[in-house]
Amino acid sequence: MTTSTNNGSAHDFVESVHGVRYHTKDVARAVAFYTTHLGFDLKHRQLPAFANVSFGDVSILLSGPDASGSRPMPDGKHQEPGGWNRVVLRVKNLLSFIDELKSAGIRFRNTVESGPGGKQIQIEDPDGNPIELFEPAR
């Protein structure tokens, strides 16, 4: 078995990170949020079930209720938006960005937290999926 190391060698089966899946109730609305407010690009859409938005090498896979990635688990449990795991976006000038997002009516989960590594705050997409905005300490 080959494991990933700092030299970039790949695992025998895992080739790369394909993306982070977020469940959404309305894929078109989620696409508008990520492209308008956070600067993501639309890579692919198959409305109303699915879309892929990206920023650099990171893709968020937006799965609507009819997407194959949203089907119930064998025990009947439904996959839903929300939770606490999240995408972390590195930003500059966090406080100004917060003002811009507040003006646009974006939902915030908390206020700015500061620590030795920097400052962060959590926002939500239209379905309650969390996104952390992080500005590293200088």
- Of all residues in the chain, what percent carry a pLDDT higher than 70? 91
CATH of 20-69+81-136 given 3.40.30.10, 3.20.20.70, 3.40.50.300, 3.10.180.10: 3.10.180.10
Q: What pLDDT, in 10s, does the model give residues 6-48? A: 455 556 767 778 899 999 999 999 999 999 999 999 999 999 9
> For the whole model, what pTM was predicted?
0.82
What pLDDT does residue 13 have?
Answer: 65
Is the confidence at residue 91, as pLDDT, over 90?
yes
Q: Where are the domains of the chain?
A: 20-69+81-136
Distance of CA 13 to the CA centre of its chain: 24
What pLDDT does residue 7 have?
Answer: 53
Distance spanning both ends of the chain, measured CA to CA: 40
How far apart are alpha carbons 60 and 31 in whole angstroms? 10
